[in-house]
Amino acid sequence: MKTIIKSFVGAVVGTILVLLIAFFVIKQHKPEQTAPIVKNQIQKIPEVKTSYLLPQNTDFTVAAAKSVNAVVHIKTIIGIKPQNYDNFFGSLRDYLYGQPQQALIAFGSGVVISPNGYIVTNNHVVDGADKIIVTFNNKREMGANIIGTSPSTDLALIKVDAKDLPYLTYGNSDNLKVGQWVLAVGNPFNLTSTVTAGIISAKARDIHILGGKTAIESYIQTDAAVNPGNSGGALVNTAGQLIGINAAIASQTGAYEGYSFAIPVNLVRKVVNDLMNYGQIQRAYLGVQIRDIDADFAKKMHLHDLNGVYVAMVVEGSGADKAGIKKGDIITAIDNHPAKDLSELLGIIGQYSPGNVVRVSLLRD
């Protein structure tokens, strides 16, 4: 391996091919100047009229029509419940199926992503399954096999032996905006697919449900109603494109209480491609130990901005090390995608494969 260093005005760029090739731009980290205080200026607060009516050009029917036939019901039969089995949406098996003494019956939803039978769902929906039965929106049932799973992202890829199936195409979760309308589509009751609408409430949410040092939690938060059995279902935009896989709800009762969380589709696409091509996840790493910046840490380290991710250590010999990233640097963006906190940074890096080239923007005193 060799290192290439090029000089630019006010910046240093280093490159090295070790897992990820790390580029970085160094900016002077200076406190922002404060605007002068102007006294005795009183402005009248403008009146703002609010409306809870949908914009007249908002139409969910096209997206719903595209989605309902591509979302399936998944029933799993598990002989012995594994210790790590935790269906975040709970189970309605007692309500719908009853439960034999010798087996656990659980279920969720899934999304058809190809005409030849590939279906993506949550790992916790099929974890430990001895048998998987998929029911389509037209009541057709088929057995499915697990192609691969990713516990660190709570995703799984299964397949049925079929062709010419309705399926959803990928959107781009990086382009999503808070306040954007979305639909949550699932098949929780093994009847037909259900559709609810809401808006994106937040992005890059880390809700600490997966555990483990390698877990990637960078969820899309929405207020679309999602209930038990919708786990693994689709989050789609108004064009009917898949933008996320529903994974969890924030609830004290197990039922919907206002917020749900979906795995961004750009991460889903990366995981699915890895499982199809390799049978396992190909994870990329910058080669740094990092942490969030909160108010206390910023005060302790004399930092002037809470945005970004603090580099606590650089792994010797890693791509980050050979590119020149140092302890104390603050990573602010990856390939011009802002990384305001740890969850956002991990979500971005999770979309890359070993050997990919990335440009890391950072601040350094």
pTM score: 0.75
pLDDT at 13: 33
Q: Please determine whether the domains at 61-282 and 284-356 fall in the same fold group of CATH.
A: no
Query: Active-site residue among 150, 152, 154, 321?
Result: 154
pLDDT at 30: 47
Query: Active-site residue among 67, 91, 124, 341?
Result: 124
Q: What is the mean pLDDT of the chain?
A: 78
Q: Give yes or no: 335 in active site.
A: no
Three-state DSSP string of the chain: CCCEEEEECCEEEEECEECEEEEEEEEECCCCCCCCCCCCCCCCCCCCCCCCCCCCCCCCHHHHHHHHCCEEEEEEEECCCCCCCCCCCCCCHHHHCCCCCCCEEEEEEEEECCCCCEEEECHHHHCCCCEEEEECCCCCEEECEEEEEECCCCEEEEECCCCCCCCCCECCHHHCCCCCEEEEEECCCCCCCEEEEEEEEEEEECCCCCCCCCCCCCEEEECCCCCCCCCCCEEECCCCCEEEEEEEEECCCCCCCCEEEEEEHHHHHHHHHHHHHHCCCCCCCCCEEEEECCHHHHHHHCCCCCCCEEEEEECCCCHHHHHCCCCCCEEEEECCEECCCHHHHHHHHCCCCCCCEEEEEEEEC
Q: Give yes or no: 124 in active site.
A: yes
pLDDT at 272: 95
pLDDT at 38: 32
Q: Which residues of the chain have pLDDT under 70?
A: 1-57, 80-102, 207-213, 248-258
Query: Active-site residue among 218, 231, 251, 361?
Result: 231
Q: Give yes or no: 305 in active site.
A: no
Please state which architecture CATH assigns to domain 61-282.
Beta Barrel (2.40)
pLDDT at 79: 78
* Domain extent listing, the chain: 61-282, 284-356
Per-residue model confidence as pLDDT tens digits over 80-133: 544 444 444 445 445 455 544 467 888 899 999 999 999 999 998 999 899 999
Please state which architecture CATH assigns to domain 284-356.
Roll (2.30)
